[in-house]
Amino acid sequence: MPIDDVNGVYYINTDLMLTAPVDLAPLAQAMAPEDLPDVSISCLHDSQADGDLYHSVFEAFGPQGSYSTPDESIKALLDVVEQLPQALQPLWRACTKKTLDIGYNSGVTPGYVSHPIPIDTLLRMQSLGVDLCITVYSLEE
């Protein structure tokens, strides 16, 4: 495979991925209402799969599009979760998987990319029962 020195390593975005044995549609509607054009959270996927399990995937966007660091994106997603109405808290707690997946595109330049996640962000994730995953997408041929 030829080395791609034009498209380097960069942060793409962070997804919040939820799995539950109950329908997550009310949670998706509250976190990413379709009827509000200025909402900073988008629901990328909300459906039933894997038999009796439901899956929802969310992504956060800032005023100029995707956030430039994982911490900014994670904080925006956590803000929305922490502001869920009390009536939806049982639905959040019903999620058997809650994962923040940080996505990067791979490359050869720059030599590395570093994005720290501060302890206060990690503590917020821990209090909500959210796991962390890092996904690196390979160079395309």
Nearest 5°: phi and psi at 105? -95, 135
Domains of the chain are 10-135 (3.30.70)
The pTM of the full predicted model, rounded to 2 decimals, is 0.87
What is the distance, to the nearest Å, from the Cα of residue 111 to the centroid of all Cα atoms in its chain? Answer: 25
Residue 1: the pLDDT is 35
Question: How far is the C-alpha of 106 from the C-alpha of 103, rounded, in Å?
Answer: 10
pLDDT block averages, 10 residues each, the chain of length 141: 60 94 92 70 82 91 81 94 95 96 84 89 97 88 46
